[in-house]
Structure 1
């Protein structure tokens, strides 16, 4: 827990202290000691915002502070120093956050407005603004302990029959195609059938309508040739972090972020292959929409 606190505090402080600078995902994730992929997921879950949204909000809050405190400072100098490309972009973004244009905000800003934005320190304790984020991490870890069993184990090579889906909305239809094919081949339904989703893109980096996910079924033998949309795929044997639990679809994001946090805390790094989910039950057959899932991250 202390390690998570240090990383979150360090990262948020770095952003706030360098809000006038170029804050790329690569640079900020380097400060946090997470990979860009992992940091993007963790930051969103902990703060409730994407990194870009957080940075823009902090820039706008700082511009509001300057508008309230420095009445003689040109608006152009304020937004230019904060990295906004032009007056139109700045005004549109500012109005979206505060409901009024910068000039109107400056006229009506209360004299003590800056106190609202200031972070107070007492006896060297962590700023209150960080307490919310740390609480989010603690809640996540508590949720993880109650809902996921995490272990590291060697997984065997797996031969799959796969159907590619482009976009989140097409994953279920792809599974339907796969099941229809399996029924014709007398492969479904059968005892202990395993359905698997293999992530070939990150949902946090690739647009959701373009992300590539393979809907798969575990086979006893390798598929010899492509049959319509169904093709052969092999998952290599190797070491994996496995998070197992009975969860709803809405819990999937928390599960993945929990595993990434656990992975970094335990000093593991990912291998260059694809993470996947193994489904042991069907959420449609559960009264609360729950399903038993293994979340699998390939590691060294």
Structure 2
């Protein structure tokens, strides 16, 4: 199973980087080094959905993000770039996932994002870590001032050992796997070790049980010999908005929302890479379940 997961992780990374390219079963199976028949069965076993469903979902999620963020881009341009043959097919598929046509979604985004998450959650609830937080902009900014120290700074390249999680529920098991690997490599425990969660999907457009979160450990140098589900990941050097504070898990959504709000208020724009969290302490070791966290948004 470990080797299966390793190949599927590689395949998922390829799919998400090439949503506008040839993603036939034969091509994807070639990337994974399995026969098409075996690959299809293994992919479904590990991810819980068929390859075709996964590809369509990722395309629709990407289109939703473009509809919400790039409102000047024509809808036709968006769906053609993602391989949909016509507006009717795209609109019908989009509505299946988000409950409304692309044009209506664009008009109401991002206000509907939390509603989307609610309709897609299997049990009708949003996970505790990213629970819905409703408040005015003024209250949110006040909360930010009291709870987060925010600064814009240059950060160096970071070399990571990573394990992919599909969905929030898999994050803790992924960290356990990563720590077990690190113990074998004599990398854990050690002084000032840093754990980092890298978000490869947005909770605004991807259901919480499908979001890809990489559970990572900061290394002194690039990982040379990946093993099993542990692979190498690099966060490139650059400018980041960093919000630092001592918070509980229930505060995470507020931290992210307020940080992006602060970004907009100060006229910064997101760079095309992934946001992440750096943990400086363990909430399990705090009597009130608090931990010191840096919330990092890459910006131009």
**Do the structures match in fold with TM over 0.5?**
yes
Q: TM-score range by the shorter chain?
A: 0.5 to 0.7
The 3 A distance-change label for structure 1 pair 28 and 177 is same
Q: Distance in 1 between matches of 2:188 and 2:102?
A: 54
Does the aligned pair in 2 maintain the 1:275–1:297 contact within 8 Å? yes
The 3 A distance-change label for structure 1 pair 151 and 40 is farther
Partner of residue 159, structure 1: 159
Partner of residue 209, structure 2: 209
Structure 2 residue ranges without an equivalent (≥5): 1-100, 119-132
Partner of residue 283, structure 1: 283
The 3 A distance-change label for structure 1 pair 40 and 246 is farther
The one of 2, 22, 25 equivalent to 2:105 is 25
Does the aligned pair in 1 maintain the 2:197–2:215 contact within 8 Å? yes
Q: Distance in 1 between matches of 2:135 and 2:207?
A: 30
SS in 2 for 1:197: strand
Q: Number of aligned pairs?
A: 187
The 3 A distance-change label for structure 1 pair 267 and 175 is same
Larger radius of gyration: 1
The 3 A distance-change label for structure 1 pair 40 and 154 is farther
Q: Distance in 2 between matches of 1:158 and 1:222?
A: 9
Q: Distance in 1 between matches of 2:104 and 2:112?
A: 11
Does the aligned pair in 1 maintain the 2:279–2:293 contact within 8 Å? yes
Does the aligned pair in 1 maintain the 2:117–2:204 contact within 8 Å? no
Q: Distance in 1 between matches of 2:104 and 2:255?
A: 26
1:134 positional shift? 10
Partner of residue 218, structure 1: 218
TM-score, structure 1 length as denominator? 0.58
1:286 positional shift? 0.2
1:199 positional shift? 0.1
Structure 1 residue ranges without an equivalent (≥5): 1-20, 30-35, 45-49, 54-132
The runs of 4+ residues in structure 1 deviating greater than 6 Å are none
Correspondences of 1:29-108 after superposition (within 5 Å) = 29=109, 36=110, 44=114, 50=115
Q: Distance in 1 between matches of 2:116 and 2:298?
A: 26
SS in 1 for 2:136: helix
RMSD: 2.4
1:23 positional shift? 6.3
Correspondences of 1:71-220 after superposition (within 5 Å) = 136-220=136-220
Q: Distance in 2 between matches of 1:238 and 1:190?
A: 27
TM-score, structure 2 length as denominator? 0.58
Partner of residue 269, structure 2: 269
Correspondences of 1:286-297 after superposition (within 5 Å) = 286-297=286-297
Partner of residue 232, structure 2: 232
Q: Distance in 2 between matches of 1:189 and 1:146?
A: 33
Partner of residue 10, structure 2: none
Partner of residue 67, structure 1: none
